[in-house]
Amino acid sequence: MDTIFLLFILLATTSAYLLWFYLLTRNLTGPKTWPLVGSLPHLFLNRRRIHDWIAGNLRATGSAATYQTCTIAIPFLAYKQGFYTVTCHPKNIEHILRTRFDNYPKGPTWQVAFHDLLGQGIFNSDGDTWLIQRKTAALEFTTRTLRQAMARWVNRTIRTRLWIILEKASKEHKSVDLQDLLLRLTFDNICGLTFGKDPETLSPEMPENPFAIAFDSATEATLQRLLYPGFLWRLKKIIDYGAENRLRKSLQIVENYMSEALEARKETPSDDLLSRFMKKRDIDGNLFPNSVLKRIALNFVLAGRDTSSVALSWFFWLVMNTPRVEQKVIEEIASVLQETRGKNPQSWIEEPLTFDEADRLVYLKAAIAETLRLYPSVPEDFKYVVKDDVLPDGSKLPAGSTVTYSIYSVGRMKSIWGEDCLEFKPERWLSTGGDRFEPPKDAYKFVAFNGGPRTCLGKDLAYLQMKSVASAVLLRYRLTVVPGHRVEQKMSLTLFMKNGLKVYLKPRELVSPPKAAVSA
């Protein structure tokens, strides 16, 4: 009798659970949701192509009420935390990033996971703490002196390091991993701009730099926290195990390096960002303490290093595979330099572009923007929902849940960018005459630099750095991918190339373009 009763209870409980699960998920769009395991089987099967999988799910949502929005159910989490709403609808993205900005902060999960590395820095804070740093940084990023400082760092690393490494590889007919070189270059530049200290990771010897290695290790270990329930990584932190052990050791090296940089700036102030923030005051009117200054600096290093180098890697790969675009980029650079430096092509490659010359490269900027449309450096971004809300397309978001806007998917929707959305076509960014860069009228069709109050402050500097580096490489060399090398995405929060970008370099023969070339 007891056995029958227990079987009855088990059957009733199972039936109740299945009914509850059915009612909960019957209106969900996106990947199939299974009892107990949710969308986990699909996530696992598509883990090596997660961004394309998300884009496919969003393309498959057909009804007006769920247009370009779907839900991914993650098991073993609290009810509201286990349902991730994913969208690429521009109106939804505008609603999240601008219209209801205060309702969609970074949130506790993200902030707690990144606190050890980034503290309350600008990219890991919300509310007043974020606002005071944002206002301070906004003032600094509009100054010409910061632009000039960036130009000095970029041109020095190109002239005294990048060109030397590429020339040696070209003469010896050896390949280089362009992604690795670009990561080193942008790391040196952003460190110089941020706290005036050059780690010199880009040099002919390709040295291992303790700070760079520790910074990479700390970033990777921090990202791993987002993959596990909070209690699990906290337990590993308490017992100092695995990634948490690596994080602790790496943070100590980072801390020591930043302390030295801060002391150096106190003794010899400069025009770097750290020196500028040392003069500013927090929301209470006090100077920023050392601990906060170091975290502010690290936030800028994290934001300024990976994004530009990853974008440039995909740019070079796309250009190598699109000769038409490569030719137009070269013609435009040659046309500008003929006006600024004369008709002798040798004078074009003796020095890197000045930022004023780079400013005139309209087609090149369009090609970089087109790269970011197809391969945004940050392919997905996440926001915490403070209060119950309804998105413009009718999707309901409960308080405490997570909403993801897929920047990668936006650029791959025919309904947003047209039938040719998968083509690498810089012309879509140009005016009818081809002489002006024209971003889309709907700004939220392109959020590679974020949007709303958190729009990237370094956007213009990033474009100038990328244009300078792209010109420095393409004017001197034709690039070809090493035969057999596989270019594929690395599944991380930043869209790295999993195997790097291994290329051969062949010297380019330059000729003066016709007088009226290039604005075509």
Known binding-site residues equal 456
Q: What angle do CA 213, 313, 448 make, to 5 degrees?
A: 95
8 burial (CB, 10 Å; 0-12 / 13-18 / 19+) is: exposed
Residue 401, classed as helix, strand or coil, is coil
Task: Output the six-digit token pair for 160.
Answer: 């005294």
Contact between residue 467 and residue 315 where contact means Cβ atoms under 8 Å apart: no
How many whole angstroms separate alpha carbon 263 and alpha carbon 266?
5
156: amino acid identity, one letter: R
Residue of 294, 304, 295 lying closest to 466 (CA atoms): 304
DSSP code of 404?
E
User: Are the CB atoms for 439 and 429 separated by under 8 Å?
Assistant: yes
| Binding-site residue positions for heme | 456
Q: Quick one: which of 371, 332, 378 has its CA closest to 463? A: 371
Token pair 């932190």 is found at 237
Q: What is the largest CA-CA distance in the chain?
A: 99
168, 477 contact by CB (below 8 A)? no
Question: CB-based contacts of 430: which residues, under 8 Å, 6+ apart?
Answer: 362, 363, 366, 436, 437, 438
